[in-house]
Structure 1
Amino acid sequence: MSVHKLLLCRHRSRQHGGFRQRCAASPRNNLVNFYTGNANDVVTRVVAHIRQVSSRSLNLAFLDPEGLELDWKTVAQLGTLRCDLIIHYSQQGISRNIGQAYLSTSEIKTDRFFGSSEWRKIYEPWHSRPNKKGLHRELLDFYKDRLRSLGYHDVKQSDEILTEPLIRSHIRRAPLYRLIFASKHPLGEKFWQRITRRDLYGQEQLF
């Protein structure tokens, strides 16, 4: 399957420098469109562009926030398309902020990330626990339930790391983030399983 368009969005125009240099070296540079601004605002233009090109196109969105900047409404808008999703779930970013976020009485970016304040009910029994191992499994399951409400399928495997590939710090081996894949077609899950069986060196896992 060939790629017909590549839409890249960065918050600031100066962040496009590296992208533009790499794309300029490709003979298919004419397929690239650059957007500048907050992705939560730009997504409306991106969705409109895709619909204008073809309402039946197959799309893949890689959503890579630094922390909790990704609003659920952005995911929901992309979910109106034939669009698979790869979402960066910032485990470390959530861990740093969730305690203070839980105590807030107003809507905050954690609410906007999950698209609901229901995450607070999940976190409530964990708030006073010094060891929060297992918390992110519950939060991830909640987020994936939200994705299912948009018509997406989970990547279901018994091994947690293969379900959402876990990226760790090279020094401390502490969890940094996970990648969540969501597709509306069973073949999407099959392709994702093949990809995630390979490590960063391209070696396929045996088990």
Structure 2
Amino acid sequence: MRAWKSHSYEKLSILTDYLEVFAKASSSAANRVYLDAFAGETLNRIAGTDRTFPGSAETALEVKPPFTHVRLFELARKRVGELSELVADRPNARVVHGDCNVTIPAALTSLPMKAPTFAFLDPDGMELDWATVRALADHKRAYAEEFDKSKVEMWILFSTSGMVRMLGKNREAVGENRLLDKAARLYGASGPLERVWEAKLAGEITGGEAQKAYLFLYMDRLADLGYQHLLVRPIHGSRGELYAMVFASDHPAGANIMQWAQERDRVRPRADTLFDVPEPRPAYEDLHTGWRNEFPIELPTWTELA
């Protein structure tokens, strides 16, 4: 059982709220699909306490009305066993063992293309390849464009702190370990990413500006996939920003619901609190729109990876 800080509990609490509304809004559809790319632990603990809370898989399985198709992707064999026990009596759910970057594109071929579909992409760090994001966006694309429907909705953890750590100040280490190539797999393309990194090393931009650029470039790529509504909520720890949760949808209702879920007062249990008291959460800010207009340097166009 892994121990998590309050921000992880809050993330799953937001997911619960969103999925409940998503399921009700799509209740007239014959099918509803939930995809969990990094399904992880079935039971989690709040750091510094004995308090436990369910993982994202159980959260999705308890939604009413239920999803007709639940696919839980997991690489770690031990977790696969735990997840398999969780879904043993649920014919609508299946656990898929392996690297989700390989297994998700294959799994999509057996899922109903017309179904409202939500994908929770919550890696520990830098494990999510852009090819997987693109496969999800393309899964319903032809149907969505022909009949004015929505592509797969996604809620994605983007590790801003992971990018900063990986692309640190040591040019030699980045080169020897091909870390720029690894980072480019997150975007599926190169060009602006490398320019930001070089500008940071040269002192043209600050570390904070580079960190924001890495995130906003990722959101630019989602916009390039045709997503019209993008929301981002940076998540901070005691030492600064940890990651950002990026929501991508074609429908304004989806964005409105996610904004509501993120802004509503919410319990954030910690080791130093005795009672669960909902806390006010920050109002949503549109941090992404027009960001390039204020960025200190010009960025090249993307070159797609082969």
Aligned twin of 1:98: 167
Any idea what the Cα deviations from partners look like across 1:17-69, whole Å, max 9, x if unmatched? 44344445xx7x2221100111110112221121xxx2211111111222111
Alignment map for 1:43-122 (pairs within 5 Å): 43-50=104-111, 54-80=112-138, 81=140, 82-99=151-168, 103-104=174-175, 108-118=181-191, 119-122=193-196
Identity score, percent = 26
Instruction: Give the 3 Å change call, closer, same or farther, for CA 15–128 of structure 1 in structure 2.
Output: farther
Residue aligned with 1:127, SS: helix
CA RMSD of aligned residues (A): 2.5
Residue aligned with 2:167, SS: helix
1:127 Cα deviation after fit:
1.8
Cα distance in structure 2, aligned partners of 1:18 and 1:95 = 33
Match for 2:199: what amino acid?
P
Any idea what the Cα deviations from partners look like across 1:165-205, whole Å, max 9, x if unmatched? 22233xx3422111100001121111111111035515454
Cα distance in structure 2, aligned partners of 1:199 and 1:33 = 34
> Which one has the largest radius of gyration?
2
Any idea what the Cα deviations from partners look like across 1:119-160, whole Å, max 9, x if unmatched? 1112221124495112222122211111111111243xxxxx
Instruction: Give the 3 Å change call, closer, same or farther, for CA 205–93 of structure 1 in structure 2.
Output: closer
Any idea what the Cα deviations from partners look like across 1:65-119, whole Å, max 9, x if unmatched? 2211111010000001230011110122111101358943856221101111221
> Where do 5+ consecutive residues of structure 2 fail to align?
1-23, 25-64, 141-150, 268-277, 284-306
Match of 2:250 among 179, 184, 200: 184
Residue aligned with 1:56, SS: coil
Aligned twin of 2:201: 127
Match of 2:93 among 5, 27, 32: 32
Instruction: Give the 3 Å change call, closer, same or farther, for CA 14–93 of structure 1 in structure 2.
Output: same
Q: Is the 8 A contact 1:144 1:154 kept in 2?
A: no
Q: Is the 8 A contact 1:167 1:178 kept in 2?
A: yes
Match of 2:213 among 120, 138, 151: 138
TM-score w.r.t. structure 2 length?
Answer: 0.57
Instruction: Give the 3 Å change call, closer, same or farther, for CA 70–203 of structure 1 in structure 2.
Output: same
After TM superposition, what 4+ stretches of structure 1 lie above 6 angstroms from structure 2? none
Q: Is the 8 A contact 2:131 2:188 kept in 1?
A: yes
Instruction: Give the 3 Å change call, closer, same or farther, for CA 194–138 of structure 1 in structure 2.
Output: same
Cα distance in structure 2, aligned partners of 1:57 and 1:97 = 38
**Structure 1 stretch displaced more, 124-133 or 72-81:** 124-133
Residue aligned with 1:164, SS: strand
Aligned twin of 1:160: none
Cα distance in structure 2, aligned partners of 1:115 and 1:122 = 16
Residue aligned with 1:49, SS: coil
Cα distance in structure 2, aligned partners of 1:14 and 1:30 = 21
Match for 2:244: what amino acid?
R
Residue aligned with 1:152, SS: coil
Cα distance in structure 2, aligned partners of 1:200 and 1:123 = 37
Instruction: Give the 3 Å change call, closer, same or farther, for CA 22–123 of structure 1 in structure 2.
Output: same
